[in-house]
């Protein structure tokens, strides 16, 4: 007879505060780039005529000892049903036996760890004196990124833009009232980005949402919204001008339309995105070299991030008796 743990979104939220998650993601990225993780590029199948997708993201590692997979779906039409477009479940297995250890809500893990990973990029690649944050997008990732980045930089102003004014205004109200930062709604994505020190791109757009001219020298961009080879949030000229880091070289070569499209156009060579953030963390690759560099972190999301977050959540939940135990045999 085996026992496992079931953790809901509320449970996961209770045991994964953002500062701890940022530290965990920093370690996960460093270990991934050092070769300490067994992880293929995610397998994705399209669902239906509207190109929804279902992804399978497995990973195994020894420190912490964790093995499992995240099952993730992206159904944009869910917004019409008052459901999140991104849903996920994490299955965590025992590293010694392969037996079921836990089943966790993965929606919040995906939301929070993505913001935490971007915060790690901000910590290592943005200017230390960065204070102005522009956020293009107003969904859960926009909120997660503000929450995360404020822990690694002294953010004094948040500028927000997204196509729908009601979403934009709700996001600004959240930043002001819940996070406690100064925030205002911009009139356009360009208005938000111009002069910003840090720019977060967290949209569902398949085409560029900012222009090269909108990005000032010295800015850092965390781009998380486009994760398929035919999607992009940034124009080729911006990619060519910037110094670029990725979470995974292997994944970037298969999934990152922001990089693959300019590569196909001849605007850049593949070596333009040869450095992983984990190597910067560990001191094996250079980071920002000059205060006027435009730096880009292209995030696709890694299974190791989900496994490390899930392992931390399960350990903490067990220590305080949180979650629902169940028998699987």
- The chain-wide mean pLDDT, for the chain, equals 95
Same-domain check for residues 47 and 121: no
Which residues, 6+ apart, have CB-to-CB distance to 298 below 8 Å?
A: 223, 244, 245, 246, 247, 252, 256, 258, 259, 273
pLDDT tens for 135-169 read 999 999 999 999 999 999 999 999 999 999 999 99
What's the rounded Cα separation, in Å, for the pair 161 and 144? 15
138 shares its domain with 41: no
198 and 99, same domain (yes or no): no
Residue 60 sits in the same domain as residue 196: no
* pLDDT value, residue 128: 97
User: Are the C-beta atoms of 223 and 209 separated by less than 8 Å?
Assistant: no
The answer, yes or no, to whether residue 328 has pLDDT greater than 80, is no
**Is 175 in contact with 183 (CB distance < 8 Å)?**
yes
Mean pLDDT of the region 22-41: 96
Residue 1's pLDDT band (boundaries 50, 70, 90)? low
Structure tokens at 38: 């067994």
Please give the C-alpha separations between residue 69 and each of 118, 299, 309, in angstroms, as whole numbers: 22, 19, 12
Instruction: Write down the pTM of the prediction.
Output: 0.95
Q: What is the CATH number of the domain that holds 11?
A: 3.30.1780.10
Residues 145, 291 within the same domain: yes
Structural domain boundaries enclosing 44? 3-109+304-327
Same domain? For 131 and 278 the reply is yes
Residue 283 has a pLDDT of 95
CA nearest 299: which of 117, 120, 39, 158?
117
Answer yes or no: do 13 and 145 share one domain.
Answer: no
Q: Is the pLDDT confidence value at 182 over 90? A: yes
């Amino acid at each position: 007879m085996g026992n496992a743990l079931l953790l809901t979104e509320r449970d996961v939220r209770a045991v994964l505060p953002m500062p701890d998650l940022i530290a965990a993601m920093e370690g996960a990225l460093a270990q991934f780039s050092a070769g300490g993780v067994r992880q293929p590029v995610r397998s994705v199948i399209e669902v239906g005529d509207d190109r929804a997708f279902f992804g399978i993201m497995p990973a195994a590692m020894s420190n912490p000892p964790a093995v499992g997979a995240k099952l993730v779906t992206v159904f944009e039409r869910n917004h019409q049903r008052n459901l999140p477009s991104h849903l996920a479940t994490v299955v965590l297995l025992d590293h010694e036996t392969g037996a079921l250890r836990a089943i966790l809500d993965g929606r919040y893990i995906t939301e929070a760890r993505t913001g935490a990973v971007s915060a790690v990029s901000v910590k290592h690649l943005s200017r230390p004196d960065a204070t102005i944050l522009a956020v293009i997008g107003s969904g859960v990732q926009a909120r997660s990124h503000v929450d995360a980045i404020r822990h690694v930089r002294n953010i004094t102003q948040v500028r927000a833009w997204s196509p729908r004014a009601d979403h934009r205004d709700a996001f600004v109200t959240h930043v002001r009232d819940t996070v406690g930062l100064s925030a205002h709604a911009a009139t356009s994505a360009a208005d938000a980005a111009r002069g910003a020190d840090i720019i977060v791109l967290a949209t569902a757009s398949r085409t560029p949402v900012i222009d090269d001219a909108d990005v000032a020298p010295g800015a850092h961009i965390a781009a998380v919204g486009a994760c398929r080879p035919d999607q992009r949030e940034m124009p080729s000229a911006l990619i060519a001008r910037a110094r670029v880091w990725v979470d995974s070289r292997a994944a970037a070569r298969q999934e990152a339309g922001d990089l693959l499209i300019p590569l196909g156009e001849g605007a850049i060579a593949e070596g333009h995105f040869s450095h992983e953030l984990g190597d910067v963390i560990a001191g094996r690759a250079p980071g920002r070299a000059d205060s006027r560099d435009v730096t880009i972190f292209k995030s696709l999301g890694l299974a190791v991030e989900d496994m490390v977050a899930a392992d931390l959540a399960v350990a903490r939940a067990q220590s305080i008796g949180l979650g629902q135990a169940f028998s699987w045999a």
